[in-house]
């Protein structure tokens, strides 16, 4: 019935369920903050990338021109390149669009021998395949099958049938075809590759807030969001949203938004890593096992992408994925390179825009 009713019915049902979990007051205040500030907005995102490309151009001795509305042009000698935010001309539009089709990507990865989470595909109106998977593995991730990025519509660590059905409501806002996969344990590693060369690795954990002994969890989340707004995008391009993923994460920890964590206590407020704090993201300088490198190189070749961000969830990447239970969960054809700059150790971040721009300019 919900599928026939269109997109509005899943959204209304999801809002009602989330309000029951977190309370209507916090949900209303969260929405008001977003409507009032409109963060991050295109202006903040454009400025973050304008700075990244301007600094890379200066390091290469190239001329930088801001064309406005997120577009820049870089010239060096007879060569020039136009870039929009993180989107370059390195890969063709069809290949980049293909990378957004998660079921197709997964089939290509499996055929290439890459360790994946092996998601189960189902239409919104038939949850039976997803329910059967949950009963078999105990913990699942639900996501839209295509057309999204940045963790939109993704709910992680789903553990019971009711939450699974509501996670499907959330994902159905973006696509009628949904994916359910076993929940993988460990932090998320983003490996950025260009033409087969590993440029950088960052390691993320889900977003946390830190108690001060006085503030509620809701107030700590609001304070983190104010920090991001005050930094105009430099402390993150998304706000922490009170959504189903937040509600389930807090419930598993036995906490509510009104709880007041002790001073210094870290509280995870999401299971999906996309909206992590700067302090939750680090440049990874340790060993990457050759077998992990072989896996991500195979993933890159399978999709035919030259610039690609490959997301791996594993307890560690200095051991083979088959040994640790690690999996490749995402292949990004337009990877957000700002993530490699917005890390805890800003001064030691890898300037990945430099080799990318060098490659674009030939």
pLDDT tens profile 302-339: 999 999 999 999 999 999 999 999 999 999 999 999 99
Whole-angstrom distance, CA of residue 148 vs CA of residue 143 = 9
Domain layout of the chain by residue ranges = 19-38+206-275, 118-183
Of 122, 123, 98, the C-alpha closest to 109 is 98
Assess whether pLDDT exceeds 60 at residue 121: yes
Quick one: average pLDDT of 199-226? 97
What per-residue confidence (pLDDT) applies to 1? 37
pLDDT band for position 32 (cuts 50, 70, 90): confident
88: pLDDT strictly greater than 50 = yes
Query: What pLDDT does residue 9 have?
Result: 67
Architecture per CATH, domain 118-183, reads as 2-Layer Sandwich (3.30)
Greatest mean pLDDT range, 1-10, 31-40, 280-289: 280-289
**Lowest-confidence region among 38-52, 104-118, 205-219:** 38-52
More confident residue, 152 or 199: 199
pLDDT of residue 317: 98
Instruction: Give 333's contacts (C-beta < 8 A, 6+ positions apart).
Output: 91, 95, 96, 97, 98, 99, 100, 303, 305, 307, 308
Residue 2 pLDDT grade (very low, low, confident, very high; cuts 50, 70, 90): very low
CA distance 74 to 354: 12
Residue 167 has pLDDT above 70, yes or no: yes
Q: Which among 209, 198, 203, 195 has a CA at the least distance from the CA of 239?
A: 209
Phi, psi of 72 (to 5 degrees): -130, 160
């Amino acid at each position: 019935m919900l599928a026939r009713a269109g997109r509005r019915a899943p959204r209304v049902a999801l809002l009602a369920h989330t309000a029951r979990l977190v309370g209507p007051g916090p949900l209303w205040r969260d929405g008001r903050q977003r409507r009032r500030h409109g963060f991050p907005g295109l202006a903040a995102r454009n400025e973050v990338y304008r700075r990244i490309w301007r600094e890379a151009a200066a390091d290469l001795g190239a001329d930088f021109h801001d064309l406005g509305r997120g577009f820049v042009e870089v010239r060096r000698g007879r060569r020039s390149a136009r870039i929009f935010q993180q989107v370059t001309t390195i890969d063709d539009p069809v290949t980049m669009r293909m990378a957004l089709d998660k079921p197709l990507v997964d089939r290509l990865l499996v055929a290439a021998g890459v360790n994946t989470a092996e998601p189960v595909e189902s239409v919104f109106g038939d949850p039976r395949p997803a329910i059967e998977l949950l009963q078999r593995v105990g913990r699942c991730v639900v996501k839209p099958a295509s057309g999204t990025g940045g963790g939109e519509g993704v709910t992680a660590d789903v553990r019971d049938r009711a939450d699974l059905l509501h996670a499907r409501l959330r994902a159905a806002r973006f696509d009628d075809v949904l994916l359910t996969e076993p929940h993988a344990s460990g932090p998320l590693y983003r490996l950025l590759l260009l033409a087969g060369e590993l440029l950088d690795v960052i390691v993320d954990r889900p977003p946390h807030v830190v108690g001060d002994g006085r503030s509620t969890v809701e107030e700590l989340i609001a304070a983190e969001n104010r920090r991001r707004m005050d930094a105009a995008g430099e402390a993150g391009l998304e706000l922490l949203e009170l959504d189903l993923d937040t509600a389930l994460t807090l419930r598993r920890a036995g906490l509510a938004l009104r709880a007041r964590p002790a001073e210094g206590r870290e509280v995870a407020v999401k299971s999906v890593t996309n909206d992590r704090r700067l302090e939750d993201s680090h440049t990874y300088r340790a060993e990457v096992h050759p077998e992990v490198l072989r896996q991500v190189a195979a993933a890159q070749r399978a999709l035919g992408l030259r610039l690609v961000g490959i997301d791996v969830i594993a307890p560690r990447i200095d051991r083979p994925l088959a040994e640790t239970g690690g999996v490749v969960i995402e292949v990004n054809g337009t990877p957000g390179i700002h993530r490699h700059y917005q890390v805890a150790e800003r001064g030691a971040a890898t300037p990945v825009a430099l080799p990318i721009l060098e490659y674009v300019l030939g």
